[in-house]
Amino acid sequence: MTLVLPAVVGVLFASGTYLLLQRTLTRIVIGVSLLSHGANVLLLLSGLGAGEPPIVEGHTTPVRAYTDPLPQALVLTAIVISFGMTAFLLSMAYRSWRLTHSDEVRNDLEDRYLHARGGGPA
C-alpha cells in the first residue's frame, strides 16, 4: 500500500470541489470529471491486498499471482458511466452557450424574484 494513490484521491477531490464552486460551466464540467476520477481511483484502492482474491478458492494455484478482480470490474463500469456523463454535460454546456452566448450559470429563480423586489444585490 502506497501513500501516493490516497494522496492523488485527495488532490482530485479537492480540486474537483474547488472547480465545482465556480460560476463558469466549463469549470464545473471539469470539476465534475475530476471528482469522478477521484472516486474511481478510490474504488480501485478499495481492493483487497494482493494474495486475497475473493473468487479463487482452494489455493491450488499460487493466489499471490492474482490481484482482486472485483474493484477493477467495478471501476471499469464506473469509468464508462462517468465517460457518458461527461459527454452529456459537455453537450449541455455547449447547448447553453449556443442559446445564451455566455458560459456563466444564471442566478437561481428565487434570487431573481428577490432581486426584482429590490431585495439587495443579485
Backbone angles phi, psi at 24, to 5 degrees: -90, 140
CA distance 115 to 52: 60
CA distance 93 to 103: 8
Query: How many CB atoms lie under 10 A from the CB of residue 34?
Result: 20
Minimum Å gap between C-beta 57 and another protein is: 11
Answer yes or no whether residue 19 interacts with another protein by CB under 8 A.
no
Is there binding between residue 65 and another protein (CB under 8 A)?
no
Q: What nine digits make up the cell of 28? A: 464545473
Which 31-60 positions form the footprint of another protein (CB under 8 A)? 32, 35-36, 38-40, 42-43, 45-48, 52, 54-55
Length of the chain: 122
Which parts of this chain interact with another protein (CB under 8 A)? 20, 25, 28, 32, 35-36, 38-40, 42-43, 45-48, 52, 54-55, 70-71, 74, 76-78, 80-81, 84-85, 87-96, 98-100, 105-106, 108-109
